[in-house]
A and B are shown apart, each in its own frame.
Chain A
Amino acid sequence: MRKLLILVGVLLAAHVVLLFVHPAGAASPAIDPHAVNVGIVFDVGGRGDKSFNDAAYVGGERAEKELGVHVRFIEPGDGSDREAALRIFAAEGMKLVIGVGFIFTDDLVQLAKEYPNTDFAGVDFSVATDSAGNPIPPPPNLAALKFREEEGSFLVGALAAMVGHSKKVGFVGGMNSPLIQKFQAGYTAGVHYVCPDCQVIAQYAGVTPDAFRNPGKGKELALSQYQDGVNVIFHASGSTGLGVFEAARQTNKLAIGVDADQYSEAPGHVLTSMVKGVDAAVFDAIKRVKDGTFKGGIYSYGLAQNGVRYVYDEHNKALIPDSVQARLQQLRADIIAGKIKVPTTP
């Protein structure tokens, strides 16, 4: 008995001593009220996804370096953590609180109403519509950051038709949903714009979110399209696309990446990638808050804002002739100028 009490005493003493250890460089939890403080809450899954959350992180880091703002991040666990994390940031007096992913939509709307003096932003925020189909604007202190994926898809579609040397071009989607159909619609329009008699073979890996992480299915779909005479496939299918790249390598044909520059997945076989600039949108929102020009509403990022773009650099220059690149730049300018209207549904 006495031994046990001594043990408890020793453990307690050691714990109390360690409580006062203060390593050099330890951050103070108190936030600096004079700085611009920004809180970013990741989607469940958090950092390390090589896509969405990581892109938001990059945007936040860049804002810290270039704008001198303070950015803090929270990775939520279960479903109630999203609101809790937003609330922690709002209650701490952050100037801007960002939720990454459409799943934050409900939580952001509620918090924006409760904290009218805090600015909020939601990446891929899903804007509700009223019974007549008109969008319901978000609260005045909430910015919905949306992307016009169809515009970037249009350009890679035109590129696929121009360098494919085939009347057939391919598309592999992940989960068949309005979001991915936007990619398909833009891509198909781009193909037909430069090659009216070309045929787009569009296939989806499934109807559930699992269709975004099924490389086996991606490879199967891609192989059958390549055998069918397709020379270029654009995938918008998460990690299912890894199978598309595998098929491109195996058949020595070309594939187009999505969301981030996917050149390294299959060097020599990635024609380009349709990049979605989550990092730029996050940076932009932070910059507006710093400059005092932040306004709520729907922000739509397209080619004009560099919110979507296609990759053209030293890695894939050899695959894209100069004349083709010039034509793409012309198409890009035409879309920005409104001369070409890109559809959002196939």
Chain B
Amino acid sequence: MSASAGARRWRAQLEEAVLPAVVALLIAALVGDVLIIVYGQSPGEVYRALLEGTWGNAYGLGQVLYKTTTLTFTGLSVAIGLRAGLFNIGAESQLAAGGFAAGVLGTLLPPGLPALLVLPLFIVAAAIGGGAVGGAAGVLKSKWGAHEVITTIMLNFIVLALLNYLTVAHFKVFDTLHTADVRSGALPRLSALIPPFHGSAANMVLFLALAVVAVAWWYLFRSRAGYELRAVGLQPGAAEYGGVNVPGVWWRAMLISGAVAGIGGLNFVLGYKHYYEDGFSTGAGFLGIAVALVGRNNPVGVVLAALLFGTLSQGGLAVNALVPKQMVDVLQAVVIIAVVTSVPEVRRVLRSARRRGGPEA
């Protein structure tokens, strides 16, 4: 009896996890079909080109993994904020600040140090870069109650302009928009392990991303601090009544959120180009919001959602010869809208069906 009840609950959980996503993706695919036909192309051809250019060959897959890595960091960053009830719109500038800090550190280190030895230094530098921006918004909220949506948006403008100025006026190599190469700490590409990935930007930071996901999951769901963070996110008044220092949780959550986004900068700086380039991360921070929403603020869901948006982003290049780039941008937006509307709707239907079906749930 209890075994079958457990199986039923497990099945119900699976249905709740999978069905809404399936419905949302199908709706998005249908809207995409119509748009492509209106533009005068064949949906079959466009989707085929999209899949061939992404999962169809090792190079495309490597590019997807590279984009997935950055999106995992920014998606996780936004998800951690949302778990605390905070909407961090600032992953864009936190990511850039983390990358900049790592890039500058790389030009200061003596050359020839082993990458694994200095990697912790780079992680700390990138986390400080991103965490400072996120933490600033957190302190503004905790101390003076400034809304984090406003402050993180404004910090995007301030920080991106500041980084642009610092790069152009002080750190750039002549006639370029990037800093000098890092002298130590450059990480190998994935193609060093798996040769068919040759040419793609995927690199060892992918594994760092998975490690950060695991730590974030443990922090959110197994640690006391994470429990407090989620309690504040669900019901700040009740958490405070239960003895939680709510403003303290707020600024810590923003600090961690910013630090996670900042570490994402290593993907470009240490893994791909080995220098910081002004504007390297354009759009990845904002796409992180979509990744967090579609991944339902769950670290594992974030990875899957990042994989989806990484595929669409790389696929956009592959189909650019058939349809304009804006078509894929629209498709990404449709995915987001379809997910946020269909998830609660499908779950409501599932639950009411079960209630009618029997005592379960």
Interface residues of A (CB under 8 A from B): 1, 3-4, 7-8, 11-12, 14-15, 18-23, 25-29, 44, 46, 72-81, 83-85, 87-88, 91, 102-103, 105-106, 114, 126, 178, 207-210
Contact = CB atoms under 8 A, between A and B. Distances in A.
B164 A23 contact: no
A346 to B, nearest CB: 17
Nearest to A39: B321
Contacts of A29: 45, 48-49, 321-322
B335 to A, nearest CB: 14
A7 B342 CA distance: 12
Interface string B3-35: 000000000000100010011001101100110
Contact of A23 (B40, B174, B277): B40
B42 A21 contact: yes
List 3 A-B pairs, minimum CB-CB distance, nearest first. Answer: A18-B33, A79-B280, A11-B26
Contacts of A77: 282-283, 313, 316-317, 325
B353 to A, nearest CB: 5
A291 to B, nearest CB: 25
Contacts of B33: 15, 18-19, 21
Contacts of B128: none
A208 B59 CA distance: 36
Contacts of B23: 4, 7-8, 11
Given A26-B40, A79-B280, A87-B59, A74 B321 contact: yes
Contacts of A91: 59
Contact of B175 (A7, A75, A79, A102): A102
A79 B44 contact: no
13 contacts: A8-B23, A18-B33, A22-B42, A26-B40, A73-B321, A74-B325, A80-B272, A85-B320, A88-B317, A126-B175, A126-B176, A178-B174, A210-B161
Contact of A26 (B41, B63, B349): B41
B136 interface: no
B199 A114 contact: yes
Contact of A25 (B40, B168, B176, B353): B40
B282 A44 contact: yes
Nearest to A1: B353
A19 B47 contact: yes
A48 to B, nearest CB: 11
B279 interface: yes
Contacts, number: 141
B320 A73 contact: yes
B188 interface: no
Interface of B: 15, 19, 22-23, 26-27, 29-30, 33-34, 37, 40-45, 47-49, 53, 59, 63, 66-67, 161, 164-165, 168-169, 174-177, 199, 201, 268, 272-273, 277, 279-284, 313-314, 316-318, 320-322, 324-325, 346, 349-350, 353-354, 357
B175 to A, nearest CB: 4
A87 B281 CA distance: 20
Contact of B350 (A4, A18, A80, A83): A4
B284 A208 contact: no
Nearest to A81: B317
Q: Which of A8, A29, A85 has the most CB of B within 10 A?
A: A29
Contacts of B282: 44, 77-79
A134 B349 CA distance: 72
A209 B172 CA distance: 13
Nearest to A25: B40
Q: Which of B42, B176, B272 has the most CB of A within 10 A?
A: B42
A79 B313 contact: no
A80 B34 contact: no
Contacts of A4: 19, 23, 346, 349-350, 353
Nearest to B267: A80
A23 B66 contact: no
Nearest to A19: B44
A209 B164 contact: yes
A84 B42 contact: no
A334 B350 CA distance: 83
Given A12-B26, A29-B321, A79 B42 contact: no
A4 B342 CA distance: 12
A76 B316 CA distance: 9
Contacts of B49: 29
Contacts of A106: 176, 273
A75 B325 contact: yes
Contacts of B284: 78
A19 B49 CA distance: 13
Q: Which of A80, A83, A85, A91 has the most CB of B within 10 A?
A: A80
B325 A178 contact: no
A337 B325 CA distance: 46
Nearest to A5: B19
Contact of B29 (A15, A103, A209): A15
A9 to B, nearest CB: 10
Contacts of B350: 1, 4
Given A14-B30, A103-B177, A19 B43 contact: yes
Contacts of B30: 11, 14-15, 18
A126 to B, nearest CB: 4
B268 to A, nearest CB: 6
B26 A15 contact: yes
Nearest to A175: B168
Contacts of A72: 321
Contacts of B165: 208
B317 A84 contact: yes
Given A23-B37, A79-B279, 8 more contacts: A27-B41, A27-B322, A74-B317, A74-B320, A77-B325, A80-B201, A105-B176, A207-B169
B309 to A, nearest CB: 12
Contacts of A88: 53, 317-318
Contacts of A19: 33, 43-44, 47
Given A12-B26, A27-B41, A207-B168, A79 B317 contact: no
Q: Which of A88, A102, A106, A114 has the most CB of B within 10 A?
A: A88
